Amino acid sequence: MIFGNTLKNIIIFWVALIALATSALAQDFKDMIASADAGVGRVFVQYDKGYGSGSGFVVEYGETARQLIFVTNNHVIDGGKSAVVVFGVDGEAVEYSAQLITRSAELDMAVLLLERVSAKSHKPPILPIALREVGKAEQVAALGYPGVSDREGSSATDQLETTYTQGTVSKILHAPWSGQGRALEIIQHTAAINPGNSGGPLLDLCGQVIGINTQKAKAEYASETYWASSSNELAEFLNEADIPYTAEASDCGATASHRTGILDRLRRLPLAATIAAVLGAVALVFGGIFFLARRKPSGARGRAGGAKPALKLAISGGAAGSQRIALSEGQLRGGVTLGRGSAAMVRIDGKKLSRVHARLKLDGRALMLSDLGSTNGTSVDGRKLARNQPQQVNTSSRIELGGEVSVSIERPEG
């Protein structure tokens, strides 16, 4: 029995080692937080009577070296006479004046233009906004400045350090923040937040913003129930206001969350099943090596190092006219974003296109197209796609982006 458990643990260890060596795993939270932390600022708001504080994060740099574009909750700055945003850097405060660019009480979102007041040079990291579907049980982290952490007698330096909490996504719901407002996509999660966290980011394993922390359940009997507006809602809000931001359309969080469950599932398997699974994996690995060793050189195309195109996109309309883009299978499996902004993998110059407008992704053998919360929509064969609801497309599909740009799918030559 002891031998069996030991052998099983050894097998699990080697499986884990192989998985870590061969998989492009997301950064763990420790490394991610070390990078994202500096992009989160504390908002201080002056009211007629007293002051309040909240959190927020940098989504893009401004037109000058002293400016930042900063997102927070509307309720953080609502009713305030003035506001400043402060970042803690090496134990010192770097202060910015804040000017309101746009806001939405319905969505509880606000965008501030920050202008550095401090003489100290400062360039915090941009936190990329995730443009994807968030999955239940996905691991998440919250960063912010809850007032309850300002312990009496703590130093000013302590009050400029973020508070980190970790949890998982409980579910995705669609509801208004208050009254009869518009229903929006809300992420319910278990990463603890408190007053003062409002406006701070909810992050995935790769440091991408998947939500803006906004509310906690108020009932005394409700524990570990916290809500954030989804990053898809934020991206749509920024698109409509024509505010630049950095986006990311990878499946990092969902993929990493899936991988973290491998060891637990292996531990629950009977020893014989674990051995069989490992032997099968080893056979596949060595079979693959044998197959590759037996293959003949692939000729000039292989020597050139270029991946064979899986398909081509024929794009017409917009300011750029007509163009053809070749895409490999690897690119399509990772997801190819289309839009007019620098964050899009395929950039298309069109006034009616959003910065990151849509995404093509190969799911198994099916090619799926998703609208990523664009302002002017995406249609297939005349039917408008619902946001973040993938639609299968093929070479006969008529795709339109923003009612301005036509995209057709072509098989590669040869």
What was the pLDDT predicted at 220? Answer: 65
What was the pLDDT predicted at 83? Answer: 96
Domain boundaries, given as residue ranges, for the chain: 29-255, 309-410
What was the pLDDT predicted at 9? Answer: 55
351/371 Cα distance (integer angstroms): 17
Specify the CATH architecture of the domain 29-255.
Answer: Beta Barrel (2.40)
By 3-state DSSP, what share of the chain in percent is helix, strand and coil, each rounded to 5?
25, 35, 40
What was the pLDDT predicted at 120? Answer: 84
What was the pLDDT predicted at 269? Answer: 44
What was the pLDDT predicted at 304? Answer: 31
What was the pLDDT predicted at 373? Answer: 82
Grouping H, G, I as helix, E, B as strand and the rest as coil, residue 8 is helix
Phi (first) and psi of residue 22, to 5 degrees: -105, -10
Residue 170's alpha-carbon distances to 138, 228, 230, 261, in angstroms, are 8, 11, 13, 16
Predicted TM-score (pTM) of the model is 0.61
What was the pLDDT predicted at 342? Answer: 67
What was the pLDDT predicted at 22? Answer: 38
Angle between helices 271-294 and 2-22 (to 10 degrees): 40
The conformational region for residue 262 under phi > 0 = left, psi -120 to 50 = alpha, else beta, is alpha
Mean pLDDT by 10 residues, the chain (414 residues): 52 48 51 89 92 95 94 96 93 94 95 94 93 88 90 72 94 88 92 95 93 88 87 89 81 45 41 52 49 40 49 86 85 85 81 88 91 90 91 95 94 73
What was the pLDDT predicted at 5? Answer: 56
CATH number at 309-410: 2.60.200.20
